[in-house]
Amino acid sequence: MRRWLPLLAISLSTFMLLVDLTIVSVAAPAIAGDLHSSFAALQWTVDLYVLVLAALMMAAGSISDLLGQRRVFVAGLVIFAVASLACAMAPDTAVLIAARGVQGLGAAAMYATNAALLGSTYTGRDRSVAFGVWGAANGAAAAAGPILGGLLTEHVGWPAIFLVNLPVAAVAVVIAMRAINESRGSNGGRVDLPGTATFTLAATLVVYGLIRAGEHGWTDPVTAGVLLAGAATAVAFVLVERSHAHPMIDLSLFRQRSFSALMLAGAALTASAFAHLVFVSLWAQSVAGLSPMMAGLALTPLAAVAFVVAGAGGRLLHNVAPRHSIGWGLLLVGAGTSLGMLLGPDSGWSVLIPSLCLTGLGVGLASPVLASAALTAAPPHRTGMANAAMNTFRQLGYAIALPLLATVSAGQAEGVLARSGSFADPGAAAKQLTGGAYPHLLAQVPTGTRPAAEHVLRSAYAAGLDATFLLSGIIALIAGGVVLALVRSSSAPSEPATNFAPRSVSP
């Protein structure tokens, strides 16, 4: 039994860091009420965590080769736990956002070393079992995040969604120190600091520009300046990587159409299947009147279907070319999210069940194959880099999609409110509405006109959500078509025992 203790510690860490990707979405209304946060600020509580995780994952892997993978893994656990405590005790939104960024640093250290530690700890059949269990932990996190977030928020309070990390991290640290042997990689621990810095800055500027666009509009000079600066920094990143002896990502990999298409697929999958769930959760609690717990349960059909399909697909679709699993999976995600447009002003949460189930079907087909397909598309000496790149693109897709969908949603809602003439400042009202302030806006309306105002607000919210569903569907459909057109059909997924690729269905 002792031989499975390392697997327990690594699976606990993976479950914990992936749950924190989605757990905040259900608690967002409670956090906003307690800390008097705007929706733009709440976006940063999700986005900064994901940005830091994506930007530092490859650098953390290089550092672990130099300092030791167990040492970096344990350091990540400690950092994550301390940051979680800071999140729970945050007196205002600024502190919460900063603590979430530090959480992302700890998550990057854990996620970058998880697969390597499993690979160095287990061999033969035990390795296959270990990666299977680890993949299940990935999938379970997608389902558990909203439910756990709703349960803790409703019955304990939103700080509990962060405090629950402390005992989990403590158990994982004790097990890691006693049961996991130290190991190092073979690349000499070279860290591409210029590449890491320019990549992080470019991603942060782009996300900040998108969030600011939602607050101040696309014509705002600062918004335009930030987005241009982000584009310029992205160009600088490319130049740095081309000239660096040991780049964070070998840009020559993108000359292969299969590899480029798969990176697009990874980003598009999280952008289209998961980012819009933040807005669905806000709608479920503010308009549909669900409790945090029920709002979390309302989102579980997607994760549950994805988990079942991913598990069955690993056996039934083993000989199917990855481009078909990924391409058709993305097309199903596109159809599923588009089906969410059935939601109308008077709809209840149940209208989204077909959309969530169909989207989950697509996620279950596409997600488990992405990492192994990326490894197959890369040269053997670049498989580690390819795996890290796929993880990075998946998180980056989510981070960029969230503010983009927020801008689209608020813009569509503003149009409905402006045409109704019910609000003096439809732009400000739309931002509050799509940020979950429906009850607050309705309470400000005189009693005599409240029924009409309620219909207008519900119509505006539904229009905003429909816009996010439509854009998410378009992203997935385009990415699915690109994969079917460009990824080589001869590629076959590699075995987990050699590529360390989890069967993940989470962002």
Q: What is the pLDDT of residue 86?
A: 95
pLDDT surpasses 80 at 287: yes
Q: What is the pLDDT of residue 491?
A: 45
More confident call, 242 vs 375: 242
Token pair 């979430």 is found at 100
Q: What is the pLDDT of residue 474?
A: 97
DSSP 247: -
Instruction: Give residue-wise pLDDT tens across range 258-272.
Output: 999 999 999 999 999
pLDDT surpasses 90 at 51: no
Calpha distance 86→274 (Å, rounded): 26
The listed range with the strongest mean pLDDT (55-69, 228-242, 304-318, 369-383) is 228-242
Instruction: Give residue-wise pLDDT tens across range 196-208.
Output: 889 889 988 998 8
State how far the alpha carbon of 501 is from the alpha carbons of 134, 341, 482, in Å: 10, 34, 23
Token pair 């309302």 is found at 298
Q: What is the pLDDT of residue 314?
A: 59
Angle at 278 between CA 503 and CA 442, to 5 degrees: 160
Q: What is the pLDDT of residue 493?
A: 41
Structure tokens at 387: 């795996």
pLDDT surpasses 50 at 496: no
Q: What is the pLDDT of residue 250?
A: 83
Q: What is the pLDDT of residue 316?
A: 67
> How much is the average pLDDT of 377-391?
77
> How much is the average pLDDT of 15-40?
82
Helix, strand, coil tally for the chain in percent (to 5):
80, 0, 20
> How much is the average pLDDT of 103-116?
88
Q: What is the pLDDT of residue 501?
A: 42
Instruction: Give residue-wise pLDDT tens across range 82-97.
Output: 999 999 999 999 999 9
Instruction: Give residue-wise pLDDT tens across range 7-21.
Output: 899 888 988 888 888
> How much is the average pLDDT of 403-412?
90
> How much is the average pLDDT of 229-233?
94
Q: What is the pLDDT of residue 335?
A: 97
3-state secondary structure 258-311: HHHHHHHHHHHHHHHHCCCHHHHHHHHHHCCCCCHHHHHHHCHHHHHHHHHHHH
Across the chain, mean pLDDT equals 85
Amino acid type, 305: V
> How much is the average pLDDT of 352-380?
86
Structure tokens at 128: 């296959």
State how far the alpha carbon of 499 is from the alpha carbons of 139, 270, 503, in Å: 18, 22, 12
User: How remote is the C-alpha of 88 from its chain's centroid?
Assistant: 21
**Residue 289 neighbours by CB distance under 10 Å:** 13
Calpha distance 2→224 (Å, rounded): 57
Calpha distance 455→439 (Å, rounded): 13
**Model confidence band, residue 289 (pLDDT cutoffs 50, 70, 90):** confident
**Model confidence band, residue 500 (pLDDT cutoffs 50, 70, 90):** very low
Cα dihedral 258→392→109→181 (10° resolution): -20
Calpha distance 43→257 (Å, rounded): 33
Pick from 343, 341, 365, 340: which is nearest to 355 by CA?
340
Structure tokens at 156: 């304990």
3-state secondary structure 70-88: HHHHHHHHHHHHHHHHHHH
**Residue 130 neighbours by CB distance under 10 Å:** 24
- Residue 225's contacts (CB-CB under 8 Å, 6 or more residues apart) are none
**Model confidence band, residue 498 (pLDDT cutoffs 50, 70, 90):** very low
DSSP 448: G
Q: What is the pLDDT of residue 163?
A: 93
**Residue 273 neighbours by CB distance under 10 Å:** 34
Pick from 376, 390, 382: which is nearest to 493 by CA?
376
Calpha distance 437→260 (Å, rounded): 40
